[in-house]
Amino acid sequence: MTIATFPPEPKPEQGWGRYFGFCTDAKVIGIQYIVTAFFFFLIGGLLAMVIRGELITPQSDLVDRAVYNGIYTMHGTIMLFLFTFPVLNGLNNLLIPTMIGAPDMAFPRLNAVAFWLVPIFGFLLIASFFVPGGPAYSGWWSYPPVSIQNPAGNLINGQGMWITAVALSGVSSIMGAINFVTTILRMRAPGMTFFRMPVFCWTALAAQSLQLIGLPALTGGAIMLLMDLTFGTSFYRAEGGGDPVLYQHFFWFYSHPAVYVIILPVFGIFSELFPVYSRKPLFGYVYVALASFIIVGLGLIVWVHHMFPSGVAQWMRNLFMVTTMLIAVPTGVKVFAWLGTLWGGKLRLTTPMLFCLGGLFNFVFAGITGIMLATVPVDIHVSNTYFVVGHFHYVIYGAAVMGIFAAIYHWFPKFIGRMPYEGLGKLHFLLTFIGANLNFLPMHPLGLMGMPRRVSSYDPEFTFWNVVASLGAFLLGVSIIPFLLNMLSAWIRGPKATHNPWNAIGLEWLLPSPPPEDNFGEDVPTVISRPYGYGLGKPLVEHQDEIERKLELQEASA
């Protein structure tokens, strides 16, 4: 448990090489996370294209049914465990230390180990495509008994590898969470009280606390699943007296909060970016910050709403419906706060701002379908249909991934030191926004009509909306091209960024772009006011003018 102390690290190399090695600098690890995540994003996206290709016709004709099931399972698993969580951990690594003025994370070596687990379990998951019998095929939920049927009959099988990979992902996430929480609790700059902390750090703290409470439950459930699959125990096997529904409790006790683990940092991103690009303070900072923790509390007691038709009693349905509905209140506080921030501002519709606005638009839509899903009778009709698929893709892609793109465009100049291109960025936004809505909106009528999710073929009456959704998906596939082009060319030959190209307020913008390895080093500025002081004319830190003058001089001489 003397897991890591501040290691007296040798001077690390500055070139490209450090991105491929065991580096303990949080900023390098952050970029490693994000690049790795996008590598897997492309794989997951390719799988999505196959799924939508299959579903463009009613018959099961593009791929074999078993292949389809494997592909949709891996699409979900890769997108969550290898894209969304790693990309957010990447942002955490970049932003938390720089935003709170820490030189690095609390446990730099643990941090590097947590990252390097990602390619390892990623490899394990991808390798499961090539084992005899194929990969896991029981959905990213892996509900038993389907997930413990093991049709290939081998000891090493896709499902077993899937469980191992997910468990490793859990280990990596727990390591990350311990690190982020400790860093935020103990390494803030002088003067940075909790209520002077940027909202992104609040939401990261909230999200990582959820990881710490929720993930072990999934891990426990997964251990039992693996034992059922491999060693013939019968925790979930009805023949042996087990209960398949027990797994669902374990699974959703984590996997519903997991949605908040994803969306809370995105709320943080919105709360950071709306003030910058509307030149106004965040409306009701304290409420926005505290709402995150109300969401954490409520988020832990809603999981049964995923199981309304799974055989739970009516009183449980009602109870969990009420808790689920209550989440709308703190979420509403945030949404209204963002609108209040925008209202009467001086909006600059840059690429990150467009992604934020688009993300907010999609999120509000997703929130409304979420309320519909919380009400038991409606949920009974649409649960496990495409309505749900549409709903969570609005949340995950429409809101969270859009927010992640916003964050990448916004902080790219800070951590890479070069400016991304606006034209390509706006094209990327346009294609993403149209593609996402074209892809995910038609799923709602499909679900209402009664098309179950996870089907490889469907009745002909569902054809029209499926064709529309598939076309949207292909557009979404194309939308990634301008993004990759933008990132690559900007990284290689984009215009040099100043220390604060967006004229934003925050500790990270008082660092050179890109920041030096130990960030502020010995001279961590003392924070004297709340974040987002746009238009208030109060400096954020002591001697702010001096710091900025020094940075400008550095830039002028470079």
Sign of CA dihedral 274, 407, 181, 524: negative
Closest separation between CB of residue 390 and another protein, Å?
A: 12
CB 133 within 8 A of CB 225: no
At 106, give phi and psi (nearest 5°). -65, -40
Closest separation between CB of residue 487 and another protein, Å?
A: 26
Closest separation between CB of residue 98 and another protein, Å?
A: 18
The residue (of 7 and 21) whose beta carbon lies closer to another protein is: 7
Residue 178 tokens, joined: 């311990």
The residue (of 84 and 324) whose beta carbon lies closer to another protein is: 324
Cβ partners under 8 Å of residue 50, min gap 6: 62, 63, 71
Closest separation between CB of residue 33 and another protein, Å?
A: 20
The separation between CA 550 and the C-alpha centre of its own chain, rounded to angstroms, equals 36
Closest separation between CB of residue 530 and another protein, Å?
A: 8
The residue (of 328 and 485) whose beta carbon lies closer to another protein is: 328
The residue (of 349 and 553) whose beta carbon lies closer to another protein is: 349
The residue (of 151 and 495) whose beta carbon lies closer to another protein is: 151
Closest separation between CB of residue 373 and another protein, Å?
A: 10
Name the amino acid, one letter, at 461. Answer: E
Helix axes 85-100, 26-54, angle to 10 degrees: 150
Q: Three-class SS of residue 541?
A: strand
The residue (of 36 and 208) whose beta carbon lies closer to another protein is: 208
Q: How far apart are CA 201 and CA 530, in angstroms?
A: 13
Closest C-alpha among 206, 200, 198, 208 to residue 177: 208
Closest separation between CB of residue 384 and another protein, Å?
A: 5
Sign of CA dihedral 285, 289, 294, 295: positive
Greatest alpha-carbon pair distance for the chain in Å reads 76
Closest separation between CB of residue 17 and another protein, Å?
A: 28
3-class secondary structure for 413-426? HHHHCECCCHHHHH
H-type alpha helices, 101-198: 108-127, 158-186
Closest separation between CB of residue 529 and another protein, Å?
A: 11
DSSP H or E run through 390:
helix 386-393
The residue (of 87 and 106) whose beta carbon lies closer to another protein is: 106
Q: Three-class SS of residue 496?
A: strand
From residue 168, alpha-carbon distances to 98, 155, 173, 221, 242 in Å are: 28, 19, 8, 14, 26
Q: How far apart are CA 278 and CA 256, in angstroms?
A: 33
The residue (of 74 and 490) whose beta carbon lies closer to another protein is: 74
Other C-beta atoms closer than 10 Å to the C-beta of 350 total 21
Q: Three-class SS of residue 5?
A: coil
CA contacts within 13 A on the Cβ side of 467: 7
Q: How far apart are CA 389 and CA 373, in angstroms?
A: 11
Closest separation between CB of residue 257 and another protein, Å?
A: 11
Closest separation between CB of residue 187 and another protein, Å?
A: 8
The residue (of 34 and 181) whose beta carbon lies closer to another protein is: 181
Helix axes 422-440, 386-393, angle to 10 degrees: 160
Closest separation between CB of residue 138 and another protein, Å?
A: 7
Closest C-alpha among 284, 261, 391, 300 to residue 333: 284
Name the amino acid, one letter, at 338. Answer: W
CB 208 within 8 A of CB 298: no
The residue (of 119 and 145) whose beta carbon lies closer to another protein is: 145
Q: How far apart are CA 253 and CA 258, in angstroms?
A: 9
The residue (of 268 and 281) whose beta carbon lies closer to another protein is: 281
The residue (of 165 and 374) whose beta carbon lies closer to another protein is: 374
The torsion defined by the Cα of 147, 151, 156 and 161, in degrees rounded to 10, comes to: -30
Closest separation between CB of residue 485 and another protein, Å?
A: 27
The separation between CA 534 and the C-alpha centre of its own chain, rounded to angstroms, equals 28
The residue (of 46 and 378) whose beta carbon lies closer to another protein is: 378
The residue (of 1 and 556) whose beta carbon lies closer to another protein is: 1
Closest separation between CB of residue 49 and another protein, Å?
A: 19
Q: Three-class SS of residue 42?
A: helix
